[in-house]
Amino acid sequence: MRIAAFGEIMMRLTPPEYLMLEQTKELRLDFTGTGVNILSNLAHFGTQTSLLTNLPDNRLGEAAKASVRQLGIQDCWIGSLGDHIGSYFAEMGFGPRPTQVTYQNRRNSSFGISGASDYDLDAFLEEIDLIYICGISLSLTEKTREAALVLAEKAHKKGKKVCFDFNFRPSLNEAHGVSLMQEQYEKMLPYCDVVFGSHRDLTDLLGMELDQTLDVSEQFERVVRQFMAKYQIEHFAGTIRQGEGDRRYLTGFLFDAENYVQAAPRQIINLDRIGAGDGYAAGILLGYSESWSLVETVEFATANGVLAHTIQGDVPLTTRKQVKHLMEQPTVDLIR
């Protein structure tokens, strides 16, 4: 399956060795973004991947493309428009000090100012089998919202699989309020086959109601079933984070038309607190694209998500061999 993503390439600037911005003049530059992260991981798993986005036609655009290629992603559908790449600074936390992310101007980026007509969507869709769309496109600007919706509709019509990730961040939507956002999500969902989301997305954003007469765990399953039925969703997946003392655990869940599975929880040990979910999503998409069983898929995706936490930066670089090593020999901490 040829997998593509529609999304923004951002610059991530990170001080070394857990330093705060005032403490250093040295920064590490990475090119990142949900689409980049998931596609790169899939490329490392051996999948053919391609990113649809726009970049400025300048030295930063060239450097961004070089980075995307290095990650194993095809750059032939990256166009040129505008003169700005959105960026964020990540001051890495340690222990009780949180990682602090500071965004710089995303809305005026090349991606932010590009609408549907700024891409050759039809030609692009001919060359792929599944398109991943991140929910942030619905929040960022009117242009990105329109582009995402047109793309999803076209893909759906052409019989391509559409994978959508809620990724709803209230902080990006303070201006509009939840009701505008709900409307956009409701426009998008009918085109979708595979959806990543959480309990909160269904209740708080879409306004679905829980059946309080049921057990808590059954409430969740019931509302997901209603959601999947309403929008004809093939698979619904997501993660749950749990704490126990000062340890934290990751569990993934996955629904298809008939079944619901949950992975065995795995302890999270963080090298980098950002970009955790993308490793999980890449794992689910790998299993989906290769028709693995639900259990195989969710266990692999959860192990991959936990490994993503141990890698510097947002971009998971794991291979199948590495994920399987963790699943099969979790106590071997030195390979030679």
Cα–Cα distance between 327 and 156 in angstroms, integer? 35
Q: Is 152 or 317 the residue whose CB approaches a second copy more closely?
A: 317
Structure tokens that stand for 208 in this block: 């679905």
Binding residue (CB under 8 A) for a second copy from 123, 175, 216, 334:
334
Number of other CB atoms surrounding residue 17 within 10 Å:
9
Q: Is 217 in the site for a second copy (CB under 8 A)?
A: no
Residues numbered 239 to 298 that lie near a second copy (CB under 8 A) are 243, 246, 266-267, 269-271, 273-274
Residues 327 and 325: their CA atoms lie apart, in Å, by 5
Q: Which of 79, 89, 204, 265 binds a second copy (CB under 8 A)?
A: 89
Cα within 13 Å of Cα(330), Cβ side? 7
Per-residue binding string, a second copy, 29-48, x by CB under 8 A, is xx------------------
| 143 lies in the site for a second copy, by CB under 8 A | no
Cβ 92 to a second copy, closest distance in Å? 10
Q: Which stretch binds a second copy (CB under 8 A): 92-100, 152-160, 203-211, 254-262?
A: 92-100
Nearer to a second copy, 168 or 236 (CB): 168
DSSP character for 76? Answer: T
CB of 241 to a second copy, least distance (A): 10
> Does residue 127 touch a second copy according to CB under 8 A?
no
CA–CA gap between residue 22 and residue 29 (Å, rounded) = 17
**20 near a second copy, judged by CB under 8 A:** yes
* Window contacting a second copy (CB under 8 A); options: 15-23, 186-194, 217-225, 290-298: 15-23
The CA–CA distances, whole Å, from 84 to 54, 59, 113, 146, 203 equal 10, 11, 10, 20, 36
Task: Report how far residue 220's alpha carbon sits from residue 225's, in angstroms, rounded to the nearest whole number.
Answer: 9
- Cβ closer to a second copy: 66 or 214? 66
Residue type, 257: A
CA distance 265 to 329: 16
Alpha-carbon radius of gyration of the chain? 19
Contact residue for a second copy among 80, 257, 312, 320 (CB under 8 A): 312
Within residues 56-75, the interface with a second copy by CB under 8 A covers: 58-60, 62-63, 66-67, 69-72
Q: How far apart are CA 60 and CA 301, in angstroms?
A: 33
Helix axes of 34-44 and 276-289: crossing angle, nearest 10 degrees = 50
- The packing angle between helices 178-188 and 142-157, to 10°, is 20
Nearer to a second copy by C-beta: 71 or 223? 71
Nearer to a second copy by Cβ, of 201 and 314: the residue is 314
- Residue 307 makes contact with a second copy by CB under 8 A: yes
> According to the binding rule CB under 8 A, does residue 122 interact with a second copy?
no
Look at the block and give the residue holding tokens 């971009």: 315
